[in-house]
Amino acid sequence: MDFELFERLAHDAMRSSHAIVAFVSCEVSYSGRAETFLERGDRILLVKPDRSVLIHQPSGSVPVNYMKGGSELSLERGEGRIVLHAAHKAERAWLDVSVFAVHGALSQRLEDAQRLDLAGNERDMSDWIRDNPRCIGEGFRPIAREEQTDVGFIDVFGHDGSGTLVVVECKRVTASLSAVDQLRRYVERVKRARGTQQVRGVLAAPAITPNALEMLASLGFAFCRVDPPKRLERWARDQKRLGEF
Amino acid sequence: MDFELFERLAHDAMRSSHAIVAFVSCEVSYSGRAETFLERGDRILLVKPDRSVLIHQPSGSVPVNYMKGGSELSLERGEGRIVLHAAHKAERAWLDVSVFAVHGALSQRLEDAQRLDLAGNERDMSDWIRDNPRCIGEGFRPIAREEQTDVGFIDVFGHDGSGTLVVVECKRVTASLSAVDQLRRYVERVKRARGTQQVRGVLAAPAITPNALEMLASLGFAFCRVDPPKRLERWARDQKRLGEF
DNA sequence: GGGGAGAGATGCCGC
DNA sequence: GCGGCATTTCTCCCC
C-alpha cells in the first residue's frame, strides 16, 4: 500500500469518525510526562474515533507508545515518509509517528454502546464482608462501607460489640507493605478523630507477604484470610476446547 | 468478509506467526482474576504473534479485555458465530470472543528488534539528586542510590555532615500520602537497623498534596522541591503542525 | 519465583 | 479539578 492510499484512508476515516488500523514500518518520538524515542521497526498503529492513538510492537500486551483521546491529529508528508502528529495541549504532550512503509491498513465505522460487566473487584469484597461479618470475628458489627475520611476511604468500618472500633482494609490480591501502611493511616486517623486509643486494625485479603505480616503484627493489627467473591464464575467451568490450532 | 475467510486468515496467521487485526461484532467473556462479560458490539480485535489478545472498544486507550502472551489459542465454529478461545493455564485465565460478523481483517508478519529509549523517570531523578546533592540541603552528602532494604529500596541515602543520616524518597509527580508512608517505613527501618534515632527523612518531588505535607510535618520530615530531568526534551520544542485535518 | 515499587501508569469516584 | 485509590493493573529489578 502506498502513501497516497494511506493518506486518503486516514483523511476519510478522520472526517467520518472511523477507526483505523495499520501495519506500518515507523519510528516514534514522544514528549510529555517523559521523553521517549523508538527506532524504526514494524508495528501496529491504531487510531480510534476519539482521537486516541496506540502503537503496538509485535510482542507484549501493553502499547509501546500512545496518546489519550482528545489529541489533535495531523498528517504531514515528508521525504520518504508520512508523519502522523498527535498533540494534546492540555497534557502538554506530543507524539510523532514517522511512517516509512504501509504494509496494510483498514478503516471502519464501529457501533458499540455496551459497558463491561465485572465481578470480583474489591468493592464486591467489602460488600461481602459487610454481609458476612463473622469472617472478621465473632462479635464484629459493621457500621459503614467505604467510609470517607480525608486520608482515603475505609473499606469496612465497625465495632466488636464491646465498644472497640474496628477498621478493615480489604485487598483482593496478596496484601503487601503498602496495604499495612494504608491500614495504619486509617487507624491513626480514627483514633485522632474519635479521641480514643481503642481502635483495632484488620487486614482482609486472600494472602499476605511475610514482611507485611511482620509489620502488621508489630503494629498490633490482625490478618484475616478472605477470598474475593466471583459471582459469574460458572460460565468458564468445564468448557471444552475444540478446533485446537 | 465471511467466516471462512476469517478462519483461514487466522489459521494461516497463527501457523506463520503473523499478527492479526480485525474489526468484528462480538461478545466477550473472561474468567481469571475476575469475571467479566461484554455484550455484543463492534470492536477491534488484535492477536499478536506471542499469542497475546487485545479487544478494544471504539473509545478509550485501554483494552476492554485482554490476555497476556503465552495463551493457548483455538477457533471454534458455532451457530452463526465463530469463537476465539484463549486459555492461559499458568494464570488460570480464560477468554472467549464470540465473533458474529467480520467487517474486515488483516494479517502481517512484523519485524521489530527495537526497544524504547526513555528519559525522565524516577531513576534519572535520583541520579540527578546524587550528582546535585545541594538541592537537598547545604551539607548533604550522598552515600548510596537505590539502597536495598528488606522493606524496599531507598532512592538516595546519605548524611548531613554532622552525623545525622538522611533518607530521601523521590517522586517524579506530585507526592501523595503513600509517598510519606513509604518514607516513614524506610526511616523506621534505618533507625532500627543502625540503632539510632538520628535519621532525617526528606521527600523530593515537584509538588506535594496538602494532606501529604501535613502528615510529613507531623512526622518531622521535610519536603524538597525537585523537578524530574528530561534529557531529550529539545526535539519537540517549536515543532510546526502542518496539514491539519 | 516472590517481593517491592515505578509507571508517560489509567480510570473511577467523591469532595 | 484535585485527591485518594483500585487495577484482570503491567513491568522491571533484585533477592
| pLDDT at residue A245 is higher than 90 | no
Tens of pLDDT, residues A102-147: 999 999 999 999 999 999 999 999 999 999 999 999 999 999 999 9
| Angle, helices B177-194/A177-194, rounded to nearest 10 degrees | 100
Mean pLDDT of chain B, nearest integer: 92
- Cβ of A177 near strand C (under 7 Å)? The reply is yes
Tell me how crowded residue A231 is: count the other CB atoms within 10 A of its CB: 10
Is residue B92 packed enough to be buried (19+ CB in 10 Å), middle (13-18) or exposed (0-12)? Answer: exposed
Q: Spelled out in words, what is the top-level CATH class assigned to the domain A122-225?
A: alpha beta
Tens of pLDDT, residues B131-181: 999 999 999 999 999 999 999 999 999 999 898 999 999 999 999 999 999
Please give the grid coordinates belonging to residue B45: 480485535
Q: What is the pLDDT of residue B245?
A: 42
Question: Residue A142: what are its φ and ψ, rounded to 5°?
Answer: -70, 140
A104: contact with B, CB 8 A cutoff: yes
Alpha carbon distance A140, A73 (integer Å): 56
Q: Exposed e or buried b for every residue in A28-53, given b needs 16+ CB within 10 A?
A: bbbbbebbbbbeebbbbbbbbbbbbb
Q: What is the pLDDT of residue B232?
A: 63
Tens of pLDDT, residues B13-44: 888 899 999 999 999 999 999 999 999 999 99
Q: What is the pLDDT of residue B4?
A: 87
pLDDT band of A242, cuts 50, 70, 90: very low
Tens of pLDDT, residues B68-95: 999 999 999 999 999 999 999 999 999 9
pLDDT band of A15, cuts 50, 70, 90: confident
What integer is the mean pLDDT of B58-76?
A: 96
Contact of B131 with B125, CB cutoff 8 Å: no
What integer is the mean pLDDT of A169-189?
A: 98
Residue span(s) of chain A under CATH 2.70.180.20 come to: 3-108
Nearest to A76 among B48, B66, B242 (CB): B242
Tens of pLDDT, residues A191-232: 999 999 999 999 999 999 999 999 999 999 999 999 998 876
Residue B40: its H or E element: strand B35-47
The CA-based angle A9-A11-A13, given to 5 degrees, is 65
Q: What is the pLDDT of residue A238?
A: 44
| pLDDT at residue B241 is higher than 50 | no
What integer is the mean pLDDT of B216-239?
A: 78
With the C-alpha atoms ordered A30, A36, A42, A44, is the resulting torsion angle positive or negative?
Answer: negative
Task: State the amino acid at position B202 in one-letter form.
Answer: V
Is residue B67 packed enough to be buried (19+ CB in 10 Å), middle (13-18) or exposed (0-12)? Answer: buried
What percentage of chain A carries pLDDT values higher than 90? 85
Q: What is the pLDDT of residue A69?
A: 95
Nearest to A31 among B114, B173, B235 (CB): B235
What integer is the mean pLDDT of A87-93?
A: 93
- Measured between CA atoms, how close is B137 to chain A, in angstroms? 26
Chain A residues inside the 8 Å CB shell of B113: 41
- CA B149 – C1' D13 distance (Å)? 13
pLDDT band of B1, cuts 50, 70, 90: low
Tell me how crowded residue A77 is: count the other CB atoms within 10 A of its CB: 12
Q: Which fold has domain A3-108?
A: Protein Yojf; Chain: A; (2.70.180)
Would you put residue B58 in left (φ > 0), alpha (ψ -120 to 50) or beta? alpha
Comparison of pLDDT for B34 and B245, the residue scoring more: B34
Alpha carbon distance A34, A104 (integer Å): 31
Residue span(s) of chain B under CATH 3.40.1350.10 come to: 122-225
Q: With 0.85 as the threshold, say if the pTM is over it.
A: yes
pLDDT band of A233, cuts 50, 70, 90: low
